[in-house]
Structure 1
């Protein structure tokens, strides 16, 4: 009874309607309430890893398996595990003491009961899991496969004519004989260059597998956009992650080829490197485009295809596909450029990795809508961004009157908006709502941090005029990351009014600084903030007015949602989740 009270049974699997009905019947027979067991349905790989890590015990009662990969994945994460003794599963587990007869319900129950109530034995299971999992790796599997293949060929050392085959020893002798022949003439420069290219393509010469991080736009200029803040943060976090056995190499496209961004890395990452030489790539390498490289994507497509032919895994970060869904929000040239970028990456990518589950759904819909190649589509994944501004290589600068400004607003009800002023960001709606609140006698402050974007000339004129006419509205363009962090700490509430987003980075940055959030009720904000934010109806200014007043009332009653309840990852955790998506 104690075990059932303290633990929930989670079945991580999709199931047919028939299988679900059988499980429900079994649960009823066993007296399990709906709160005591869960059938998850289909889960993304990253959610399975979260499920593994949150488990007290992993039970694998399979009767028929070719191997037992779910068991090995759980063990690799150190999850205490017990498993069936049948077929290959017992072999993967590696110790009969941790196995049970899958046909014997009592045996399964006894093993589960001991594992969940005997802390010492559960620790023993966890240690065994990690030690056993270390015996399995794709490298070892490949080496064993090669050994078997070579042995097979060596055992048939002669062909039908009786001629010895070229085994490992024969290959060395042949190479020495070729060298001994000599050509008698010196090759020209062109032949030497071709020979060098062939050697580079076919021989890795002990070179470590490399993760190429494409930062083409950032290497040219840091535009201080939200995307480039993400690029900086992920670049720093991945560069500091030395646990995955890959060399991390930032690169950029020079209009013709990809080059190592060594000069940039020397300044930004503090690396002792110089010279932006051409990259050398091959099987086992991974390419990850962190930047939104619209200007260079078409010119780089042939090189990307060449990299793919030579065994490089191609991955692209997708922040959103809003220019495809709402081209009216962007200048025509930019929307057309984005459409070209998306067409290329959809053709060449092995994987597109989105910054939210909602963005992944949008990408899947656009691929289905626009792809002319229905036989090959990239894999799709998603992860969430980090929240700690200090780990984004933040810009550091405060104007002389910063202390005076924050001193004025810190003890007043102040709403903060963060992001470039664009048509979709909701600034016009917010200004309408706050103008009405000010007319009604409310003295709330509204602080907007973000530079002027496109297609907002009339709105920008209105915002500048509003900032001049009163002391309750502040528009701060070109603010540093240091200033932004002070704003998160000094304001009363983050106001997120966007009509659409790929993620909503300010929400988790606000949560990281314990700043309450009032957000437009859209899918991606619900995904990011969950119950840790208050939401408003964004269909009209009146809806926002009602939302602001409701937030103020709930604050007075100490009933506003706790921002700390929002799950905000560090950039290191975000980078780990991204690399998990690439499967390295």
Structure 2
């Protein structure tokens, strides 16, 4: 499939999902003002959440009461790398971007290769132990913008200017460009913040590090179409995320999860329930198979996301709910590890992804993988995964049939530990060994 065909297929899919979402919202008898409030509920939720995060960061003593990082970091000789972990410390979350920030920061600190910091009142403050010590930039320092800085752009403006004026370099992590590429999936606030971050911060960095080559390639293509060009000499690199599998993953799952796994062969999807994940395509494929009499279950493990109220309602009201269709929105790590091990295969119907950690996790736990044929999955999974045509339920039906007819074989996708991932990233920054140059 050409890039043009793939984009047309994505556009058609997004139009259908937006239409269904609008129809769902209009299905209720409500006045225009109530409808607006309902439509913006998640956006308001995240706005309030960000304001609360700001309050947490403003109060340094409360922000550091439960230390995330080692009490002291003994940095190795060489450039000092300061790792921004502001959102992580403020929110206390450990999923998504914050998971990456935590694992990279903790492991870089343990290796003596990086010092976690937070932004407070336009200054950098150490985030280790009790924290609170102001970090003054020295010539040769590298500030790694690893966290979700677009949520608080105003806090960074003067800081970045002062950091560079003192001889420091600025490197930003790029997880994806989805708010710019697929704006119908996100809130207006997020889109505006992310666009401002991209144009005012990313384009002025000394280097960009992406979580996959696919994301780096997408960024290189994106900047070619901009009037404003990247900073002269800008470097572009990418590295592999980690996937440590800890002892707690071997704990016993809940009895209800064990009982569910014994009912019938099942296929598993993992990830937030949002439009980008392609769940409607997977559900359509199983609906076709169920209509043919297939006795196999479909289990989704993921929390509710955003702009997918219509599909969430469809899951809750589906006639197969509790029979052959199951949505687990609060599964534990032990539950998920067990489901990975017992699944006939893991289905990843995503239309766009930055890395695709469930693919690596599935391989670790011995589950075959059926994934959308997108560049990043090919990059991570290679020949070890089974691919179906992007957003094509019919193609997925064929792959599911093949998987049921074949003997179960675990794919071989060697994971990188978080320690290895942190070391690779820190080496790239310290040795200035990026794969490409943009500016």
Q: Provide the rounded CA distance (Å) in 1 between the counterparts of 2:78 and 2:326.
A: 52
SS in structure 1 opposite 2:367? coil
Matched, 1:520 2:372: yes
1:583 maps onto 2:430 in alignment: yes
In the TM superposition, what whole-angstrom CA distance separates every residue of 1:548-584 from its partner, at most 9, and x where no partner exists? 11222233xx6x5x412x2321111211221222134
Q: Is the 8 A contact 2:249 2:337 kept in 1?
A: no
1:334 Cα deviation (Å)? 1.4
- Per-residue CA deviation, residues 185-237 of structure 1 (Å, 9 max, x unaligned), is xxxxxxxxxxxxxxxxxxxxxx9853211011111113343222222221222
- 1:364 lines up with 2:220 in the alignment: yes
Measure the CA separation in 2 of the matches of 1:396 and 1:216.
Answer: 32
Q: In structure 1, how many angstroms separate the alpha carbons of the residues matched to 2:405 and 2:370? A: 13
User: Distance between the aligned counterparts of 1:467 and 1:220, measured in 2?
Assistant: 42
Deviation, structure 1 residue 415: 1.2
Kindly indicate whether residue 350 of structure 2 is the aligned counterpart of residue 503 of structure 1: no
The 1-side partners of 2:267 and 2:327 are apart by 12
Tell me which of 115, 118, 125 is aligned to 1:252: 118
Residues 434-479 of structure 1 show CA distances to partners (whole Å, capped at 9, x for unaligned) of: 1221221112121111111111011001111238743222211133
Rounded to whole Å, the distance in 2 between the matches of 1:258 and 1:467 is: 54
Q: Distance in 1 between matches of 2:95 and 2:426?
A: 23
> How far off its partner does 1:517 sit?
0.7
Please say if residues 107 and 418 of structure 2, whose CA atoms lie closer than 8 Å, have aligned partners that are also in contact. Answer: yes
1:237 aligns with 2:85: no
Q: CA deviation at 1:395?
A: 9.9
Gaps of 5+ in 1: 1-206, 267-273
Among candidates 362, 386, 411, match of residue 563 of structure 1:
411
Q: Point out where structure 2 has 5 or more consecutive residues left out of the alignment.
A: 1-76, 432-439
Q: Judge conservation of contact 2:278–2:351 (CA < 8 Å) in 1.
A: yes
Asked whether 1:459 is paired with 2:315, we answer: no
2:200 match: 344
The aligned residue for residue 23 of structure 1 is none
* Distance apart, 1:347 and its partner CA: 3.3
The aligned counterpart of 1:213 is 83
Give the alignment of 1:76-475 within 5 angstroms.
Answer: 210-242=80-112, 246=113, 248-262=114-128, 266=129, 274-370=130-226, 372-373=228-229, 376=232, 378-390=234-246, 402-409=254-261, 412-466=264-318, 469-475=321-327
Give distance in 2, aligned partners of 1:395 and 1:317. 29
Call closer, same or farther: CA 1:550–1:469 in 2, change over 3 Å: same
Distance 1:581 1:298 in 2: 28
| Aligned mates of 1:284, 1:218 — CA distance in 2 | 25
- Shift in CA distance, 220/371, structure 1 to aligned 2, threshold 3 Å: farther
User: How far apart, in 1, do the equivalents of 2:143 and 2:195 lie?
Assistant: 21
1-structure distance, mates of 2:423, 2:139:
23
Question: TM-score w.r.t. structure 1 length?
Answer: 0.57
Of the structure 1 ranges 498-507 and 330-339, higher mean CA displacement relative to structure 2 is found in 330-339
Say if 1:346 and 1:377, in contact at 8 Å, map to a contact too: no
Provide Cα deviations, 1:256-281, integer angstroms capped at 9, x if missing partner: 3222223xxx3xxxxxxx24132222
Q: Deviations over 1:306-345 (max 9, x none)?
A: 1122122211111111221111222222122211111123
Q: Per the alignment, in what secondary structure is the counterpart of residue 107 of structure 2? A: helix
d(CA) in 1 for partners of 2:322 and 2:131?
Answer: 53
Alignment correspondent of 1:481: 333
Is the CA contact (8 Å cut-off) linking 2:86 and 2:117 kept in structure 1? yes
1:389 and 1:481 in contact (8 A); partners too: no
Distance 1:576 1:467 in 2: 49
Tell me, yes or no, if the aligned pair for 1:358 and 1:524 is still in contact at 8 Å. yes
Q: What is the RMSD computed on CA atoms of the aligned residues?
A: 2.5
Distance 1:371 1:232, change over 3 A: farther
Task: State the 1:386 CA deviation.
Answer: 1.4
Q: Which sits farther off after the overlay, 473-482 or 207-216?
A: 207-216
The 1-side partners of 2:307 and 2:250 are apart by: 29
1:410/1:359 CA distance change after superposition, 3 Å: farther
Distance in 1 of aligned mates of 2:219 and 2:364: 28
Bigger relative contact order, structure 1 or 2 (CA pairs below 8 A, ≥6 apart): 2
Note if contact 2:271-2:301 (Cα within 8 Å) is conserved in structure 1.
Answer: yes
Q: What secondary structure is seen at the aligned counterpart in 2 of 1:552?
A: helix
Q: CA deviation at 1:255?
A: 4.6
Q: Which residue of 1 aligns with 2:53?
A: none
